[in-house]
Amino acid sequence: MNPGGKMCSAATIALNESNDDARAIDVLLAAYNGALYIEEQIRSILQQHYAGMIRILVRDDGSTDATVAIVRQLMAQPLPANRQIELFERTEGVGHVTTNFAQLLALSSAPYLALADQDDVWLPHKLATQMQAMHALEQQCGAIPLLVCSDLRVVDSALTLINDSFWGLQKLNPTWINDWRDLLVQNVVAGCTSLFNRAALDVILPMPTQLGVFHDHWIATAICLHGRAVALAEPTILYRQHGRNVEAAHTFTLAYAGRKIQSLFTIIRRSQAMALQLGQRLSFSSLVWRKLKLNFSRFFL
């Protein structure tokens, strides 16, 4: 095993269009007061160019707007072949997006799982392209935890292009997923692009919601430690920025890096806690060095 997990293939691969085996996918959509954009997002998932079953599991976290009503309206309409929508509601209080996704993971049953935010738009080829990459990984690696992620196209609230590459905007190197320790201190995997197999649940769950770590960071790091991941250079999502994003896209600048340095102690302590939860003990100084090294390299990307 190399530092990033089981060696199977390069982390970033290019794909040609081809037919994809029809395998069921549960799309896990965490919702909270998403009435403004959730219908457009769900429709983009229903219209995927993927022949297999797609079951959208929506879990609402106590919305006070029309989110639930909109989802119910969509459920009542005729759906395309091999498409289903199921709705789960939190009846009291409001939780956290990570807790919401943890609950959705427990509700899933398909052999493949994909995460979805409520305010994006999926490009039509997203799932077909990612499943093609997943099948290639399975042939090379077998039944180990596997993850496929991709770049995103950053857009504004009206879907007007801001930047054709989220990784380019934030100066992130997707090959950092080759080493789980790099991913530990600098996540490059946007959860909304993640597709993983059922074997990954064995290392993802239970999700340590008490650590204050976002779900996508935990999922990617756990899979990269125990299995393998690939990052597709082709954007598969319109990543909508509207001022109320749980996680927003920021241009990586000297000023931005400076603000992050002020939080370095917190970031490293959280990284240490994540490592311990994964059964790995890493020193504070080694993680500081790794974090600073990666951030310095971002200025040259």
Distance CA 242, CA 239 (A): 10
Angular region, 48: left φ>0, alpha ψ -120 to 50, beta rest: beta
Q: What is the pLDDT of residue 285?
A: 96
Q: Could you tell me whether strands 228-232 and 146-150 are parallel, antiparallel, or unpaired per DSSP bridges?
A: parallel
Q: Are 103 and 59 in contact (CB under 8 A)?
A: yes
Instruction: Please name each of the domains of the chain with its CATH number.
Output: 12-251 (3.90.550.10)
Q: Which of 294, 295, 287 is nearest to 257 (CA)?
A: 295
**Sorting pLDDT into bands at 50, 70 and 90, what band is 262?**
confident
Q: Could you tell me whether strands 153-155 and 161-163 are parallel, antiparallel, or unpaired per DSSP bridges?
A: antiparallel
Structure-block tokens of residue 209: 């919601």
State if pTM tops 0.85: yes
Q: Could you tell me whether strands 195-197 and 121-122 are parallel, antiparallel, or unpaired per DSSP bridges?
A: unpaired
Q: What is the pLDDT of residue 243?
A: 64
Over range 129-157, report the average pLDDT.
96
Over range 241-267, report the average pLDDT.
73
Residues forming beta bridges with residue 195, ordered by sequence position: 114, 148
Q: Which of 45, 55, 50 is nearest to 111 (CA)?
A: 55
Over range 109-136, report the average pLDDT.
97
Structure-block tokens of residue 102: 């943890």
Q: With 60 as the cut, is the pLDDT of residue 222 above it?
A: yes
Q: What is the pLDDT of residue 233?
A: 96
